[in-house]
Amino acid sequence: MSGNKFKRVLLKLSGEALMGEDAYGINRATIIRMTEEIAEVAKLGIELSIVIGGGNIFRGVAPGAQGMDRATADYMGMMATVMNALALQDALKNHGVVARVQSALNIDQVVEPYIRPKALRYLEEKKVVIFAAGTGNPFFTTDTAAALRGAEMGVEIVMKATKVDGIYSADPNKDPTATKYSRISFDEVITRRLEVMDATAFALCRDQKLPIMVFSINKPGALKRAVCGEDEGTLVHV
């Protein structure tokens, strides 16, 4: 895929990516840097949608969630993603990018509900669409939401932003001899038990023949290089 600019992509951002060096919450300098890179990609004319997690906010109350009913805790996490989505929308606005937030949970006074035809129209109008509240169901992660929304939006690729610059044969932080893959098949990832996404999300992407690009969100310019089809990160393909 090198040298080919994708026309429609979905970016999966973890909530932790917004923390910077903070213990939890949103680091202002970090979100500004990220939105600068997202804005640069959006201004290329690429149709961009984003699924964002809520671990950075929910982490602040995580000790209090111990022993809590799993479904209740998951709904709290979904609401945390709505907070992150609104923060990201506001930051993008400051960079001249029009973004719309659609939530899988109905919070009409705050954000729009998720409506697929409307989301598709926003993408065609070159607006960034931020999908919040995961799938709207407990027991499913925002990784699964990214795979689901990516399939529904007909994206060409899911860009999974992480803290490392791709997929390695082992944890590079623990094993300095770990090998980085530039391309790897879904079957190889399964066989070698490499962690890319949770099992449900991974299976959905594989079944829909939806490739995944794993790259570092902390590496300057990596997002632009990845969406422009340059040699960046690791491509997981069928």
Could you list the residues known to form a binding site for UMP, using ranges: 54, 74, 135-142
Q: Which residues are annotated as a binding site?
A: 12-15, 54-55, 59, 74, 135-142, 162, 168, 171
Cβ atoms of residues 129 and 122 within 8 Å: yes
Written in H, E and C, the secondary structure of 51-69 is: EECCHHHHHHHHHHHCCCC
For residues 225 and 217, the answer to whether their CB atoms sit within 8 Å is no
Compute, in degrees rounded to 10, the torsion defined by CA atoms 136, 138, 139, 140: 10
User: What's the Cα-to-Cα distance from 190 to each of 70, 156, 173, 224, rounded to whole Å?
Assistant: 27, 22, 21, 28
Instruction: Tell me the C-alpha distance between 133 and 105, whole Å.
Output: 6
Please answer whether residues 167 and 236 qualify as being in contact, where contact means their C-beta atoms are separated by less than 8 angstroms. yes
DSSP lists the bridge partners of residue 11 as 50, 159
Strand positions, DSSP E, the chain:
8-13, 47-52, 99-103, 112-113, 128-132, 157-162, 167-168, 180-181, 183-185, 212-216, 234-237
Q: Which positions make up the binding site for ATP?
A: 12-15, 55, 59, 162, 168, 171
